[in-house]
Structure 1
Amino acid sequence: MPTKPWWASAVIYQIYPRSFADRNGDGMGDLSGVCENLEYLAELGVNAIWLSPFYLSPQADAGYDVADYRRVDPLFGDLNDFDTMLSKAHGLGLRVIVDLVPNHTSDEHAWFQEALAHPAGSSARDRYMFRDGRGNGGEEPPNNWRSIFGGRAWTRITENGVPGQWYLHLFDTKQPDLNWDNPEVRTEMESVLRFWLDRGVDGFRVDVAHGMVKAAGLPDWEGHTAMVSGDETENPAPQDPVHQQKPALDPPSPFFDQDGVHEIYRSWNRVLKEYQGDRMLVAEAWVEQPERLAQYVRADEMQQAFNFDFLLAGWDAERMATAIEKSLAANATVGAPTTWVLSNHDTVRHPSRFGLADPTTFPKGISAEDEQPDEALGLARARAAALLMLALPGSAYMYQGEELGLPEHTTLDAAFRQDPAFFRTNGIERGRDGCRVPLPWRASERGYGFSSCDTQDGNTVAPWLPQPPSFANYAVDVEMGVAGSTLELYRSALHVRAAHTLGEGTHSWAPQHDPRSGVVAFNNGPLTVIANTGSAPLELPPGAEIVLASAAESASNGELAPNSAVWFTN
């Protein structure tokens, strides 16, 4: 009987390199810092790591503005550092996934610089989305599209001292969109895939996987991307925070989830099949309907797609149950596993979201002027949600620091913020910096041990983003080996998950399942999982043998406390 590929049930740990660990003491995380701490991840019990971009970049959007897809940015090291890290990871049994950013490049990429140096209609311009403007003298942009980060999605260039064409950037002005109707673009990106596959990577997380193909004619669109709208020079009005990242579907977007993206992924699927080892693609696709998302993981396309419906459900039994049921059903139609996630580098960390008065909201960052989460309540709910997620069949993704219960930095001063969304919306959108703050490793050290003293004079500089004082309570050395800590809870959960092969199991609702009463309960293999999102204790079944509880006090006297979860056998 053939075994399932590794990615079908893997637990994958997202590393945000600039904030994971700094080996050379310059205040910025690096690949050597990743390499130095791989044993920690192997002992945690994850199966793979995913590295956010480490490519050469001017860092206008924290590396998601790539200037060279085949070079490591000196901030993070060089290709030798990458190869060393990759070899060590494989030696520890860890697979390695790297980020791929195919929707856009940096404006400092050689191709874009070449486009600026060549006239309208040239082959160099055709690699990007250059268009003539509308109105007298082309003074208006080609259409009314708005940037995901706020403001217009078009910027006009100057040619020979006079205003010229406009170029499309769905994100920042320094991130021009590639033209995926151009065969040269497709050939180049397949070459980039092969470059990293030849080095031995096990897969790719595809950024904005739903965004490369645009509707023919680039028609105007009266919808919004559910981020903020408004020009860079205006005060934009905030939109519904619950669906910050997801494109509105009324009317359908002409630049997200176009059917043409699927041919790209069928082509990439063929590239991956040239290599041994079950190489994989995972889609970052903010697609509204589970049925549409399932199309990305058909047998001849990608292998995984992040389940953002589950992430967006918040701490709410009905919303979580609906996301679980619909996702499993949709993926079953195409024979693909479901991929679960609670947080990533683009979202407020879930312990903080779950500590808000409404734990289903999805704020665009949190500042000192905003509602401050209940840290203890949010952590209790986050620990319970972790048990829920890690018991579901399929694959699960963890964001670095999640295993520590790390909260958002909710009081980060505006002077330190670097997210382009913060600046393009004049601060209306707080941005993503709060979830990207460097990890605390050792509570008693400067920067909580994020930086190692490996410089010639033995000194380190401050981390690139300041950490709040509360991070001392979440440092690795404070939690390691301490019964009841969040780190030990995750280690135990991952051990049990592996022992019972829960990722390869099957899901069925348990008799206790009652979302309207705040109860999510399901069976997987020998385990029953119950999460109590309500405000009153819940009676557990007689004879329940507790395997793991989200907190020591969660299950006692035959009851499950509110904001808790438990794994048990009968």
Structure 2
Amino acid sequence: MTADAPWWTRAVVYQVYPRSFMDSDGDGIGDLGGVLSRLDHLSDLGVDVLWLSPVYPSPQADNGYDISDYQDIDPLFGSLTQLDELIEALHSRGMKLLMDLVVNHTSDEHPWFRESRSSPASPRRDWYWWRPPRGGMAAGDPGAEPTNWQSFFSGPAWTLDPASGEYYLHLFDRKQPDLNWENPEVRQAVHAMMRWWLDRGVDGFRMDVINMISKVVADDGHLHDGPPLPGSSLGDGSGQFLCGPRIHEFLAEMHREVFAGRDGTFLTVGEMPGVTVEDAELFTDPARAEVDMVFQFEHVGLDHGARKWDIQPLRMRDLKASFGRWQAGLATSGWNSLYWDNHDQPRAVSRFGDDSPRYRRDSATCLATLLHLHRGTPYVYQGQEIGMANYPFQTLDDFSDLESLNHYVHAVSAGEEPAHVLAALRKMSRDNARTPVQWDASPSAGFTTGTPWLPVNPDHVEWNAERQRSDDTSVLAHYRRLIALRHENPVVALGDFHMLLPDHEQVYAFTRSLDGEVLLVACNLSRTPQPLADLLPQTTGAELVLGNLPVDDPAVLAPWEARVLRLP
């Protein structure tokens, strides 16, 4: 993949979580008008694609990932007219729009589910997963759920519908019933909706938990109990609904029905919890025509125990092994997505870096350099480019995230100490990623003229975009340089990857090579200076292409220093 490499190999994607990006009407919730007002920030940054998290009509049980109408805009965020304006404004700046596609499940308020729920004889009953109680048990009895599958938001993945005496499946919240992709009418309806958005000017989709759409179905049509995937921290039964038996068939059909015959400038990204390198190689092989790249979760699970809330120290050699395995596995076919942050992950500078006053800027730029110099398409999550950090939560009342609140209730009910559960929420809650973007030092950080739906991080007085915009040493300025480097230098986008020092616990180093050019990237992920010349003698006399700190001693990497060097 060199001479005819797709456009997205040299692109950088910027994710907007609209609720927290920018509010244009003073109601405290970000909206499309706010996104439109901040496009110059994205253009100045140099990104190529805006990925917009869901803005469809929704009861907002899961902040928009519970969709009640796939072909409209929630008034909370604006209108279809504004969405059209956004498409035009992005295209005029040379950027593309990636919409979120959430089709493993809908809202329970979607007309499809309302009709499905209306009667067991409904023509759309089989659009969702309805099943009777476990054999011989009465509906509503403890353990009567059709399988042992667990929801990602705590508790069983089945909810009883008293009117019919049957249970419906929801791998997430009870207000997010799973669509039955075994039914061809469901697939046809989804394909028609996707074509409608592409015809409107959208440039592709990020597909939410798309590897869950194929469930293991027995010959008798039933779903059965199942163990989790080996080594998985996911709920019971995950082996029955992750990368199920028809997943490749469904994605190939989607590509054929939606994208075939178009001009090829689209982007498809599959979010796939639990996906392996071997799976991803198949999903992203261009010859198979399924998706362009996947979002995998291996590296963001390295500090988890049995669950995401069981926080463990991150060992650098584990991070290297994970990244290195994915780089090697998708080296000849397929493609990587590269990310630290997104709307579901705590802030990287607090999690993988060092958000102390002394090292926050340096560690944010070091982590950015490390990620952007890998082979794959980098993703920047809103606020990451200015070094936004986790919020200083004090009490449970500070949290809004459904997953976090549900976990607290279930964990405390199971006997865990409330203080211990709260400590885990502070570090891992999705609310960390969802506090408003810090545009300036004003009371609401320039996000809104009203009361923000989540509190603004009090550190915004110092850490904000306005303060960094004209500072050539800022996190924002460093992101600009990283993005420009990928655009300008083919070795960054397409070069071969080779890991160096795989067992070193502080220095992360690798090379990128293409057509005789070799870049060596060395990052010190610690507060301790590291002897670069001793560890990597080939760096002596190398040309500095990009660094995040002034080089005081070429032979030594300062704490949280990153260098991109061109070898002779």
User: What SS does the aligned partner of 2:484 have?
Assistant: helix
- Matching of residues 159-238 of structure 1 within 5 Å: 159=163, 164-216=165-217, 217-223=222-228
Write the letter of the residue equivalent to 2:189: E
Match of residue 565, structure 1, among 546, 562, 567: 562
Asked if 1 retains the 8 angstrom alpha-carbon contact of 2:315 and 2:505, the reply is no
* Map of 1:360 onto structure 2: none
* Map of 2:339 onto structure 1: 341
Asked if 2 retains the 8 angstrom alpha-carbon contact of 1:8 and 1:503, the reply is no
* Map of 1:473 onto structure 2: 462
* Map of 1:324 onto structure 2: 323
User: What SS does the aligned partner of 1:529 have?
Assistant: strand
Aligned length: 519
Distance 1:468 1:46, change over 3 A: same
User: What SS does the aligned partner of 1:326 have?
Assistant: helix
- Matching of residues 429-448 of structure 1 within 5 Å: 430=425, 431-443=429-441, 445-448=442-445
Asked if 2 retains the 8 angstrom alpha-carbon contact of 1:533 and 1:562, the reply is yes
Asked if 2 retains the 8 angstrom alpha-carbon contact of 1:310 and 1:340, the reply is no
Asked if 1 retains the 8 angstrom alpha-carbon contact of 2:328 and 2:497, the reply is no
Identity rate, percent: 35
Distance 1:261 1:514, change over 3 A: closer
* Map of 1:393 onto structure 2: 375
How far apart are 1:318 and its partner, in Å? 1.9
How far apart are 1:374 and its partner, in Å? 4.2
Distance 1:60 1:291, change over 3 A: same
What whole-Å deviation, never above 9, does each CA across 1:242-286 have from its counterpart, x for those lacking one? x7xx637x9861011113111111012112123224212101101
* Map of 1:146 onto structure 2: 150
Asked if 1 retains the 8 angstrom alpha-carbon contact of 2:365 and 2:475, the reply is yes
User: What SS does the aligned partner of 1:559 have?
Assistant: coil
- Find the aligned partners of 2:129 and 2:230 in 1 and give their Cα distance: 19
How far apart are 1:46 and its partner, in Å? 1.0
- Find the aligned partners of 2:466 and 2:360 in 1 and give their Cα distance: 22
Farther-moved stretch of structure 1 (460-469 vs 271-280): 271-280
Asked if 2 retains the 8 angstrom alpha-carbon contact of 1:393 and 1:502, the reply is no
What whole-Å deviation, never above 9, does each CA across 1:513-562 have from its counterpart, x for those lacking one? 3533533222224532111235342224321332222234x653531123
Asked if 2 retains the 8 angstrom alpha-carbon contact of 1:45 and 1:494, the reply is yes
* Map of 2:530 onto structure 1: 537
User: What SS does the aligned partner of 1:389 have?
Assistant: helix
- Find the aligned partners of 2:315 and 2:472 in 1 and give their Cα distance: 28
- Matching of residues 403-552 of structure 1 within 5 Å: 403-411=385-393, 413-427=395-409, 428=421, 430=425, 431-443=429-441, 445-451=442-448, 460-509=449-498, 513-516=501-504, 518-524=506-512, 525-533=517-525, 535-540=528-533, 541-552=539-550
Farther-moved stretch of structure 1 (415-424 vs 479-488): 415-424
Write the letter of the residue equivalent to 2:326: S
How far apart are 1:190 and its partner, in Å? 0.2
User: What SS does the aligned partner of 1:291 have?
Assistant: helix
User: What SS does the aligned partner of 1:464 have?
Assistant: coil
Asked if 1 retains the 8 angstrom alpha-carbon contact of 2:227 and 2:238, the reply is no
* Structure 1 alignment gaps of length 5 or more: 227-242, 357-372, 452-459
- Find the aligned partners of 2:363 and 2:466 in 1 and give their Cα distance: 23
* Map of 1:353 onto structure 2: 351
Write the letter of the residue equivalent to 1:62: N
User: What SS does the aligned partner of 2:210 have?
Assistant: coil
- Matching of residues 3-82 of structure 1 within 5 Å: 3-82=4-83
- Find the aligned partners of 1:8 and 1:393 in 2 and give their Cα distance: 8
User: What SS does the aligned partner of 2:165 have?
Assistant: strand
What whole-Å deviation, never above 9, does each CA across 1:316-350 have from its counterpart, x for those lacking one? 542233223211222235x1222211111101111
How far apart are 1:421 and its partner, in Å? 1.2
* Map of 1:231 onto structure 2: none
How far apart are 1:7 and its partner, in Å? 1.6
What whole-Å deviation, never above 9, does each CA across 1:59-83 have from its counterpart, x for those lacking one? 0001000000001000110100000
User: What SS does the aligned partner of 1:196 have?
Assistant: helix
Asked if 2 retains the 8 angstrom alpha-carbon contact of 1:247 and 1:288, the reply is no
Distance 1:563 1:436, change over 3 A: same
User: What SS does the aligned partner of 1:204 have?
Assistant: strand
Write the letter of the residue equivalent to 1:256: L
Write the letter of the residue equivalent to 1:201: V
Write the letter of the residue equivalent to 2:335: P
- Find the aligned partners of 2:463 and 2:238 in 1 and give their Cα distance: 43
* Structure 2 alignment gaps of length 5 or more: 304-313, 410-420, 534-538
User: What SS does the aligned partner of 2:508 have?
Assistant: strand
> Which stretches of structure 1, 4 residues or longer, exceed 6 Å deviation after superposition?
none
Distance 1:378 1:353, change over 3 A: farther
- Find the aligned partners of 1:264 and 1:555 in 2 and give their Cα distance: 55
Match of residue 157, structure 1, among 161, 168, 171: 161
How far apart are 1:13 and its partner, in Å? 0.5
- Matching of residues 252-271 of structure 1 within 5 Å: 253-270=239-256, 271=258
* Map of 1:105 onto structure 2: 106
Farther-moved stretch of structure 1 (99-108 vs 309-318): 309-318
How far apart are 1:97 and its partner, in Å? 0.4
* Map of 1:132 onto structure 2: 132
Write the letter of the residue equivalent to 1:409: Y
The answer to whether residue 288 in structure 2 is matched with residue 295 in structure 1 is no
User: What SS does the aligned partner of 1:305 have?
Assistant: strand
User: What SS does the aligned partner of 2:51 have?
Assistant: strand
Distance 1:425 1:375, change over 3 A: farther
The answer to whether residue 298 in structure 2 is matched with residue 309 in structure 1 is yes
Asked if 2 retains the 8 angstrom alpha-carbon contact of 1:318 and 1:515, the reply is yes
Distance 1:203 1:170, change over 3 A: same
Farther-moved stretch of structure 1 (166-175 vs 122-131): 122-131
Write the letter of the residue equivalent to 1:397: Y
- Matching of residues 363-382 of structure 1 within 5 Å: 374=356, 376-377=358-359, 379-382=361-364
* Map of 1:239 onto structure 2: none
Distance 1:143 1:378, change over 3 A: farther
Write the letter of the residue equivalent to 2:226: W
